[in-house]
Amino acid sequence: MSNIGNYEERYKTFTWEQAERELNYRPGGVLNIGWYCSDRICDSGKGDKPALIWEGMGGIEKRFTYHDIRRASNTIGAFLRGLGIQPEDRVCLFMDKIPELYLGVLGILKIGAIGQPLYSAFGDESLFVRLDNAQTKAVITQKKHAPKVRKILDKLPHLQHLIIVDHDGKPLKDREIAFSLEKSEPVEKLEIHPTLAESPSLLHYTSGTTGLPKGVKHVHYSLLSQYMTARWALDVREDDIFWCTADPGWVTGTSYGVIGPWVLGVTQCVLDAGFSAEAWYRFIEKNRITNWYSAPTAIRSLMKAGEEIIKKFDLSSLRALSSVGEPLNPEAVIWSERVFGKAFLDTYFQTETGSIMITNYQGMKIKPGSMGKPFPGTTAVVLDQKTFEPHKESGKIGLIALKPGWPAMMRTYWNNEETYQKKFKNGWYITGDRASIDKEGYFWFVGRDDDIINTGGHLVSPFVVESALIEHPAVAESAVVSKPDPINMEVVKAFVTLKAGFTPSADLDLEIMNFIRKKLSPLAMPQEIEFTDALPKTRSGKIMRRILKAKEWGEEIGDTSTLEND
C-alpha cells in the first residue's frame, strides 16, 4: 500500500491543515525550514540516523547523521552571522554537489537569510545576471569556481564576501574569506532566527526556456507542500534510501534533494561524479537505494546505454521510481517497467510552483505518457485560451492552470512584480503549458504554449511526435519544432540524435518516416528529419526547442545562459 492510500478519497478530504498538524505547526508561529530538516529530527530521537551518504569523484565517500547535519548547518549559520549576514540577505551557493552545498542551504535558512543556489557550471556572465538582480551579499564557493566570481566582483558592489570552502592557503584577494567546515569548531547550539510562514526562504532562477531568467521567491511555508508531496507523490517512507539526482541549483534539487527527504527524516544519497550508466547502477547497488527520483534526459541516456549493462548489477532494492523536468515519453515508462520491474512515474511542477502539482502515484493505474492527476490540496484545470474558463469537455486542449493558494507557490518574481502579476488570469495561475484531460481525469501534456505547432489550422503537440520518434530502435532523443511553410504557414520538423551503432543516411531517414507514419496523423508527420550529434538543453536537462525554432525561422535566439554548453 502506498503512502497516499486511496487517491480519490485523499483528494476529496485533504486540506493543508493536515500537513500543519503533522508538522506541529500552528498558524502565526515560527516556521524555519532549516530547523525542521535537522534539529526537529534530532529532537524526535533520530539524531544518530544516517542523513546523507555522499560520494564524489574516485569513490571518495562522506557520511553524515542527523546530528552531524544539525551541527554542520549550525556552524555554517554561525559563521555567516559572524560576517554580518542579516535576515533576508541573499547568500548564493555556487558549488558542485559537495556536502557543503546541501548543509549550506539549511545553515542559511536557520539565520533567516535567503538561499540562492546557482548551478556551478554557469559562466561569469550567467552568474553576473543573477547576482546583480538579487543584490547578493555573499557567495559560498570552491576554489575552482572562485575565478568566475572574481571576474565580475568589480561590477557587484553589494557582494561583500566571497567565501571559499576548500581554500588551499594561497593569499586571499579582496573580499575573500576562507571557511573550512571540517576545521571549524562544531556549533552545538545556534539561535534559530524566528522566521514565519511568509518569510522568504529561497530565490531560484528560472532555467530560461523563454526570455531572461527570473528570480522566483519562495517562503518557509513551502515546507508543507514539499513534505506532503515527498510523502504522497514520491512515496518516500521512513526506511527509504532516497536518491534525487537533481542539482540543488534547480528547484527539484532543493525541494526534493534537500527539504523533502530531510523533513521526513530519511537517509538520502548524493553522487557527485558525472553521468555514466555504469556509475549510476553501481551507486544504486552499493547503497541499496530504494526510492529514485530522476529526469527524462537521464532516463533516455540509460536507455541508450542498453539493457545488457543492467544485468551486471543487483538493482533489486529499488521500490519506487519517479521522473521530473520535462514530459516522460511513454517508451521510457514501458522500458523501465521491463528492465527494473517498476515504471518511472512522471511528476509535473515548475520553479514557480515549488512542489509537485500533477503526478502519477504508486498503486494507481499508470497510463504511459500521462502526467497523472492533480495533487490533493490543489485544483488543476485546462482553460480555454480565449475565455480563460475551464474546458467542460474531456479531451480538449487548453492551458494548464492552477488555483492559487498551495503553500509552495512562488510569492513574486524578484524585482519584477509586473511580470509576476501577468502569470494570473481570471483567478488562475497560468503555467504556460498546454494539456488535455481524459474522461478519467488524467492530464496529457501537449507542450509549452509557445512550442505548439499550428500547421494548416491543426495544432500539433511536439511531445506526441517526439514520443513516436523515440520508439524507433535507432533514435536516442528527438526534438520537434515548426518551420516556415508557404502553404500551411508552418510544418513539423524533427531533430534526431541516434543510438550508438547507427549512422545518418537517406535510407534511415526513410525507415524512420515509414515507422512513424503508422503512429501519427498525416498533419503531425515531420516534413523533414535532421540528424544531429546533440540537442540544445538547459543544464537541468530540458530540451531548448526555442533555439532550434529560432534558427529555422531566422529569429534572435535570446538568453542562452542556462544552455548546457554556453
pLDDT band at 326 (very low <50, low <70, confident <90, very high): confident
If DSSP codes are grouped into helix, strand and coil, which group holds residue 564? coil
Domain ranges of the chain: 7-437, 450-553
Name the grid cell of 166: 576548500
Is 550 in a helix, a strand, or coil? helix
Mean pLDDT of 549-562: 73
User: Which letter, b or e, does each residue of 60-93 get, where b requires 16 or more Cβ atoms within 10 Å of its Cβ?
Assistant: eeeebbbbbbbbbbbbbbbbbbeeebeeebbbbb
pLDDT bin (cut points 50, 70, 90) of residue 343 is very high
Specify the pTM: 0.86
Same fold, 7-437 and 450-553: no
pLDDT, the chain, mean: 93
Confidence of residue 457 (pLDDT cuts 50, 70, 90): low
Give the largest Cα separation in the chain, rounded.
72
What's the rounded mean pLDDT across residues 525-554?
86
Lowest mean pLDDT among 73-87, 146-160, 294-308: 294-308
Q: What is the pLDDT of residues 96-114, one digit of tens each?
A: 999 999 999 999 999 999 9
> Could you please report the per-residue DSSP string of 96-119?
-S-HHHHHHHHHHHHTT-EEEE--
Which grid coordinates are listed for 174? 579582496
Supply the DSSP string of 269-337, one letter for each residue: EEE-S---HHHHHHHHHHHT--EEEE-HHHHHHHHHH-SGGGGGS--TT--EEEE-SSPPPHHHHHHHH
Helix (H) / strand (E) element for 304: namely: helix 296-305
CB 159 within 8 A of CB 136: yes
Q: What separation, in Å, do the N-terminal and C-terminal C-alpha atoms of the chain show?
A: 46
Helix (H, G, I), strand (E, B) or coil at 266: coil
Phi then psi for residue 176, to 5 deg, are -90, 150
**For the domain bounded by 450-553, which CATH number is listed?**
3.30.300.30
* Class for the domain spanning 7-437: alpha beta
pLDDT digits (tens, 9 = 90+) for 3-46: 999 999 999 999 999 999 999 999 999 999 999 999 999 999 99
Query: What confidence tier does 123 reach under pLDDT thresholds 50, 70, 90?
Result: confident
pLDDT tens-digit readout, 364-407 = 999 999 999 999 999 999 999 899 999 989 999 999 999 999 99
Mean pLDDT of all residues in 526-536? 92
pLDDT of the residue at 566: 46
Taken as a whole, the chain contains a residue count of 566
Query: What is residue 44's predicted lDDT score, i.e. its pLDDT?
Result: 97
